Homo-oligomer: A and B are copies of this chain.
Amino acid sequence: MRSILRAFALAAVIASAAGTSELRAQTDPLASWNDGVTKKAIVDFVHATTTRGSASYVAAEDRIATFDQDGTLWVEHPMYTQLVYCLNRVPALVKAHPELATVEPFKTVLSGNRDAIAKLSKPDLEKILAATLTGMSIEQFQADVKQWIATATDARWKRRYTELTYEPMLELLEYLRANGYKTYIVTGGGQDFVRVYSQEVYGIPPEQVVGTAGGIKYSYDANGKPVLTKEPKLLLNDDNAGKPEGIHLMIGRRPIGAFGNSDGDRQMLEYTKAGAGTRLAMLVLHDDAEREYAYGPANGLPATKVGAFSQSLYDEARKNGWVVISMKNDWSRIFAGAGVAKKTGGK
């Protein structure tokens, strides 16, 4: 009797420490997904591809699932996180190179004028990206990103960016991994940037992050020690057609499932669906102005500079059986909050 009481007490302590997310996961691995066709599509897909003896069975080693990051796994609006990082790095950059203080676009960024910053052109932004993402050693870059991501907060929610990951998508990542899938991020964002936090935030190890990648130069420092330096040279533009190209380069297998939210993910989803057998292609539609954002013409909403989900993509999705996820209708909860994603290691 006493031991039973102790077991109950212990269970309560564990439940309290683990938080609600862990408890829900024990009953429904997709607890933040409302019941309906979208959730059913996921469960049916996993069932079809993992049931031995079924015609749609996929061998464990071929179970590859690829996820876009910005707008698919976490908030990308009004500006994707890596770009915020680059803008935030400008003061340190100018400190090291004072001559840049009077040179555009750095001058505008230093002014802090939000309207002017929002109006910077694509070539201007590319100058800022090149100046803040290259020229340093890999170790230095990783240390800078690690420090920034641990403290920087989003302007609207006043929360760290890593807390603005979507709980339903984290559940989906984990559900797929629990069913033998190897989960990858395939992002238009910087590969080196995302790899710094992918394990902690998504349970995805660095070697399973495919992203836009620049040249890397091997040389020796003054003590003869090898050093890898980030070069201002584009090696892989991992967006649009670059996504399937990057998948072939870095993984060498065609995904069985692919998940995105914008026209930049179109070719990855096409490539995935074009493989033989059962495949799942999903698009996150941002249609929840209250809990997150609403944007994209496919929903009769204004297009934005980031992540526009065009009518033509919407039409292609409908025609080819891609599943469109309505944040508003399909998700009972949006954000993961702190620490939720840390529950598992990656697979």
Contacts and interface: CB of A to CB of B under 8 A. Distances in A.
Interface of A: 61, 138, 191-192, 195, 199, 205-207, 209, 213, 215-219, 225-226, 228, 235-236, 241-242, 244-245, 248-253, 267, 270-271, 274, 345-346
B250 A250 contact: yes
A248 B138 contact: yes
B61 A226 contact: no
A292 B235 CA distance: 39
Given A226-B267, A235-B235, A249-B235, A218 B244 contact: yes
A213 B249 contact: yes
22 contacts: A61-B199, A61-B205, A61-B345, A61-B346, A138-B248, A191-B249, A191-B252, A206-B251, A206-B253, A207-B251, A207-B253, A213-B249, A218-B241, A218-B242, A218-B244, A225-B274, A226-B267, A226-B274, A228-B248, A228-B271, A235-B236, A235-B249
A71 to B, nearest CB: 21
Contacts of A192: 252
A284 to B, nearest CB: 22
Nearest to A220: B270
Contacts of A270: 226
Contact of A216 (B209, B217, B245): B245
B205 A267 contact: no
Given A207-B251, A225-B274, A245 B267 contact: no
**How many subunits of this chain does the assembly comprise?**
2
Contacts of A215: 245
Contacts of A226: 244, 267, 270-271, 274
Contacts of A61: 199, 205, 345-346
Contact of A245 (B209, B217, B241, B346): B217
A242 B228 CA distance: 11
A316 to B, nearest CB: 11
Contacts of A209: 252
Contact of A271 (B207, B218, B251): B218
Contacts of A219: 241
Contacts of A244: 218, 226, 228
Contacts of A228: 244-245, 248, 271
A114 to B, nearest CB: 34
A249 B211 CA distance: 10
- Which of A217, A228, A345: most chain B CB closer than 10 A? A228
7 cross-chain pairs, A with B, having the tightest CB-CB distances, nearest first: A206-B252, A218-B241, A216-B245, A226-B274, A207-B251, A226-B271, A195-B252
A117 to B, nearest CB: 31
Given A191-B249, A216-B249, 9 more contacts: A191-B252, A206-B253, A216-B248, A218-B244, A218-B267, A219-B241, A226-B267, A228-B271, A235-B235
A195 B249 CA distance: 11
Given A226-B271, A270-B226, A252 B216 contact: no
Given A207-B252, A209-B252, A245 B218 contact: yes
A337 B82 CA distance: 51
Contacts of A218: 241-242, 244-245, 267, 271
